Structure 1
């Protein structure tokens, strides 16, 4: 009683390539947490069993920027941390998105000092702002759902003539396999 029941008798379904790719991207967002303060506790709570961020395909927290496509900046960012944050953002794979979580990351919060950045959007592009001090886990989940809506609206790349550019999904091998030096047989060891 699943997808098989809704398919026609001939057993295939049609869709647009854009929709299928965006569905796959939306359903497998890998966040890179950059949590520095109390917002980090709420970020951790959103992945717990009570709030279950896994329902939205974002439970795989990646601590390597090369494996992440969503940066979650949770908490205040000092001036000394900003170059690190920018370096992590630059190392993330494309397409990438940023969520600014809480008042401190979005505007500096109550820390109106020379040492705290007054909004990370001055240094890296922010896609979604999650309000609160600290925001509740439900609010963060709503922010991730907003990122998923952004991904759904994304289109495939096109050249100036309107033709679809290749996605580069298939990677050709960079080596030629050698032949096996010893023949393989299914003979028993007797």
Structure 2
């Protein structure tokens, strides 16, 4: 449910809740900071290119953690890099979200068994909100993950914990392909 779905009265007055306004503003201006560490970073960069046009979803990549509200961890996180991931996460303002992209950042990937130097999932050091599987995941998968983050933001309420919002999101799954197709139809119509 978007902001405009709340209802407009006869006198052009928008009636909605504070939660809806805040969530609409947050999800319509998501500023991710890409933290590309390996081959997943190539797919992340491809997603930021003009072919996929993330700006139509209100997603504007940033290079500074102080300007970002979403961290995209893409690739293999080594033990030496873990400290820097934590530092960057702590520099981000609240509310902040984390999307783990690819098998390596999700669970250690192919280095799981024999890679003593590889962290077995970035969720061991920072809380992760959305996981995007794949080795490396396609740009469409990353867009689907970003939409999941937007849905998570949409489900948040003042006084509702992040865990409760994640439960609500799990109960009401979205179909990213349908949303992308709807965006394309809207673009063609205009």
Coarse TM-score class (shorter-chain normalised): 0.7 to 0.9
In terms of fraction of residues, the more helix-rich structure is 2
1-side partners of 2:12 and 2:23: how far apart?
A: 23
**TM-score in terms of structure 1 length:** 0.77
Map 1:159-178 onto structure 2 (within 5 A).
none
Determine the C-alpha separation between the residues in 2 that align with 1:8 and 1:98: 38
Which structure has the bigger radius of gyration?
1
Partner of 2:147: 145
Corresponding position of 2:82: 82
Matches for 1:115-134 after TM superposition, within 5 Å: 115-134=117-136
Query: C-alpha distance in 2, partners of 1:139/1:146?
Result: 10
Matches within 5 A, 1:1-190: 8-58=9-59, 60-112=60-112, 113-157=115-159
Structure 2 gap segments, 5+ residues each: 161-190
The total of aligned residue pairs comes to 153
Runs of 4+ aligned structure 1 residues displaced above 3 Å come to 6-9
Separation of aligned partners in 2, 1:9 and 1:53: 35
Q: 1:7 Cα shift? A: 5.1
**TM-score, normalisation: structure 2:** 0.77
Please, which runs of 5 or more residues in structure 1 have no aligned partner? 159-190
